[in-house]
Structure 1
Amino acid sequence: MPSMNRKSNGRRLADSDDEPMNGSDDDRDQQGDITDRILAKVDPEYLNTAIDLRQGDAALRKLIGALGSLRKEVKDVENTLSNVASEMAEMLSDELVDEEYNEDATLERLQAHSTMKELEKDFLATLDRAKEISIKSGTISDMRQRLTQGHQLTNIYQMYEKKVQEPLEKERTKTARQKYMKDCPSYEGYRQIVWENLTSNQAVPSIKRFLPRQDGDEESDDEEIEFGAQTSNFQCPITLGVLEDPYKSTVCPHAFSGAAIKEIIQQEKGSTRCPVAGCSKTITLATIEPDEQLARRVAAHVKRQKEGRTQASTQARTYTRMELSDEDGDDDDEDDAETQAARKIKKEVKKEKAAAAGQ
């Protein structure tokens, strides 16, 4: 076993800490240079000594715990930005959305608004930070697993840097669509709640429209259809009322009121077929989980309803200003649902005006 003077090594590390460090600690390259200078002062025999199993496992668990705490803080920032953006969108509704709703014009104004641009930029930065923490935490977990399996680990810092470098670099070279278009529920929830608050629950445009195409992205008509505009439905398929404490299924794209789906699962002795008509997936307590993003969207929807800012009320105000000729002469069966609704509202408004005039 190589001889080591641990006190000498400690003094050398302490001496290196006294050296001046130019620049910011946030600068990755410079911080890496500083670390390399420190490690260069450590005896190679010390670095290459196998890590003690018990001490090493405890140290790695501590690192994983610290990264977990940091991940929670980043998630809190993510939630705060989402809430601020949705409230800001509500305030900007009259400014950015015409009375006769136009998706293209609304999206263009939203993306050009300086405050909304900055909020989305900051939100995406938190998603990048969360992904970075996840990669680092996963790398340390893998090293800990190898250690507990009896593998001898030496020069642990360089091993960590080597293992984490490739996935981090790969993540940094991805385009926005590659990062956020698929398998990113946080961004999906963000754009949904912002758009719904801005437009009083109009259908959310394709995610591609929020993320400009970059070099490396592929265009596909099939993908455009798959990710087209979607109208939100906040009704629980079990209670038929507004979702309460929503839980989402991890085996199908459906959500339910938490108490209702849990009760059904318990009544069916631990598993049940998805309550949504046409869905054959089996639901258990292990395949449902709380959906915080959906809960925020439901709360915003309920608030809009109380304030009379739902899509139906917006359409109604627009229809009352429409001049509809030949109300009774056309065949209603040939009209679409919106036109029929407009005619009905128009008639009711005229009746109310006539009744008021008669008084």
Structure 2
Amino acid sequence: MPASSSRRKSTRSRREPSSDRIEEEYPSQHAGNNDDVEGGDDEEEQPRRKVKQENKAKKRARRDSESDNDPPAVVDDDEDNRIDVENFHDQPLDKKEGAKLSGIAQDWEMIRKQIHQGSFSLAKEVATSLADVLEGDDANQALSEVDDIMKKLIDIDNEMQSHEKTLSWMHQQLMRGEPVEGAVELYEKEVKKRVDEFNDRTTRKKYGSNDQYVQFKQGIFEVQNPGENIPPINDFIPREEGDESDDDDDLEIGGITQDFKCPITLTILVNPLKSSTCGHAFSGDAIRDYLKRGPSSGKSCPAAGCSQKLTMAMMVADSSLEKRAKLAARRAQRDEDDSEVDDDEVIE
């Protein structure tokens, strides 16, 4: 019996390792998931554990500072690895970004044309309609207000062009292999420079050479003064310091008379088509019939004194001319009606 008991004790002692031995083989089991215990870690693990503790402290501080109604802030455990955006220096652009700048410049151009094509046309239509129905001070006041709107549209158009031209200029620099430093600051500076240069010009220099403004003033004059020669644009814009002499003919638009008559039918234009080569306009049906009876290579322009060859491919619609022709037709009808009334009064 004593011998048997001794053997059982010996077996049990071999099967049950001491606690000291467990500590030696598995030292991390006691401190493995306890972030507050720093003992037992090697030198690399301790800084990591310290960063985690600091991040947890930041989370608790933020949660405490938030009100009950505010949504909880989203905190990234890797916050210490984020880029400091506020202090991140602007990076220079190179050729890889050149195509992007060119694309953005084209977007500016497309938006500008879409917005202002309709706006300019509307302003011109409103002006000619007011000139047709109003007289005296009422007409002057209304047309002055539309004139201001037209100038503001041109100002906005120029500002949009400044963005477009600046981006194109930066693109060209990159394509030449010149890196662009401080792109954002450079872009804003160049846009402002172009806008300021335009604003510093005189009224004549800002608007007198603008095709949209010239057409705007021309349309008003034609309605108010049918059959008269269109004067130089300088006659509509007072001279300012820095302008050339009024004898300068660079900005003239006059010297022609628009009677809105078709050279073929000799009546006021109907659904007019204008030649893209010589600029003469004809009633749509009349010019189609005229060219249909000629060779495919084209026929001579039917306008007096013009020998330009015309084909239907050269003829384009002109909505602005069509509206002005309709106004001219209404004026002619009013004049005819007034003449008949005067004749009746004389007979009586």
User: Normalised by the shorter chain, which TM-score bucket?
Assistant: 0.5 to 0.7
Q: Which residue of 1 aligns with 2:92?
A: 48
Partners of 2:234 and 2:252 within 8 A in 1:
no
Q: What SS does the aligned partner of 2:259 have?
A: coil
Superposed CA RMSD in Å reads 4.2
Change (3 A) 1:278 1:203: closer
Which of 236, 260, 265 is the matching residue for 2:262?
Answer: 236
Deviations 1:199-257 (A, max 9, x none): 56665554322211111222344739965575322122244443344344455453334
Partners of 1:51 and 1:154 within 8 A in 2:
no
How far is the alpha carbon of 1:141 from its aligned partner?
3.9
Q: What SS does the aligned partner of 1:278 have?
A: coil
Q: Output the amino acid matched with 2:144.
A: K
Partners of 1:92 and 1:198 within 8 A in 2:
no
Measured in 2, the distance between the counterparts of 1:287 and 1:123 equals: 31
How far is the alpha carbon of 1:43 from its aligned partner?
0.9
Which of 174, 188, 193 is the matching residue for 2:219?
Answer: 193
Q: Which moved more, 1:250-259 or 1:117-126?
A: 250-259
Q: Which residue of 2 aligns with 1:119?
A: 146
Partners of 2:300 and 2:309 within 8 A in 1:
yes
> Which consecutive residues of structure 1, in runs of 5 or more, have no partner in the other structure?
1-5, 13-40, 97-108, 321-344, 354-359
Change (3 A) 1:180 1:243: farther
Measured in 1, the distance between the counterparts of 2:288 and 2:187 equals: 43
Measured in 2, the distance between the counterparts of 1:317 and 1:199 equals: 22
Q: Which residue of 1 aligns with 2:334?
A: 309
Q: Which residue of 2 aligns with 1:219?
A: 245
Q: What SS does the aligned partner of 2:249 have?
A: helix
Q: Which residue of 1 aligns with 2:132?
A: 90
Change (3 A) 1:162 1:303: same
Q: Which residue of 2 aligns with 1:76?
A: 118
2:64 maps to 1:64: no
User: For residues 256-335 of structure 1, what are the structure 2 equivalents within 5 Å?
Assistant: 256-257=282-283, 268-269=295-296, 273-281=300-308, 289-305=316-332, 308-310=333-335, 316=339, 320=342
In the superposition, the TM-score normalised over structure 2's length comes to 0.59
User: For residues 328-347 of structure 1, what are the structure 2 equivalents within 5 Å?
Assistant: none
Measured in 1, the distance between the counterparts of 2:310 and 2:324 equals: 23
Measured in 1, the distance between the counterparts of 2:212 and 2:138 equals: 19
Q: What SS does the aligned partner of 2:282 have?
A: strand
Measured in 1, the distance between the counterparts of 2:92 and 2:134 equals: 60
Q: Output the amino acid matched with 1:85.
A: A
In the superposition, the TM-score normalised over structure 1's length comes to 0.57
Change (3 A) 1:225 1:181: closer
Deviations 1:335-359 (A, max 9, x none): xxxxxxxxxx7xx874x43xxxxxx
Measured in 1, the distance between the counterparts of 2:190 and 2:303 equals: 44
Q: What SS does the aligned partner of 2:83 have?
A: helix
> Which consecutive residues of structure 2, in runs of 5 or more, have no partner in the other structure?
1-80
Which of 193, 200, 214 is the matching residue for 1:173?
Answer: 200
Deviations 1:156-213 (A, max 9, x none): 434544654554443323222223334x332232223333444566655543222111
* Identity in percent: 26
Q: What SS does the aligned partner of 1:256 have?
A: strand
Structure of larger gyration radius = 2
How far is the alpha carbon of 1:133 from its aligned partner?
2.3
Q: Which moved more, 1:290-299 or 1:266-275?
A: 266-275
Measured in 1, the distance between the counterparts of 2:160 and 2:291 equals: 35
Measured in 2, the distance between the counterparts of 1:199 and 1:167 equals: 38
Q: Which moved more, 1:157-166 or 1:172-181?
A: 157-166
Q: Output the amino acid matched with 1:190.
A: F
Q: What SS does the aligned partner of 1:223 have?
A: coil
Q: Which residue of 2 aligns with 1:130?
A: 157
Measured in 1, the distance between the counterparts of 2:169 and 2:291 equals: 36
Measured in 2, the distance between the counterparts of 1:309 and 1:135 equals: 47
Measured in 1, the distance between the counterparts of 2:161 and 2:204 equals: 19
How far is the alpha carbon of 1:58 from its aligned partner?
4.2
Q: Output the amino acid matched with 1:43.
A: H
Change (3 A) 1:134 1:237: farther
Measured in 1, the distance between the counterparts of 2:165 and 2:291 equals: 33
Measured in 2, the distance between the counterparts of 1:152 and 1:224 equals: 39
How far is the alpha carbon of 1:91 from its aligned partner?
3.0
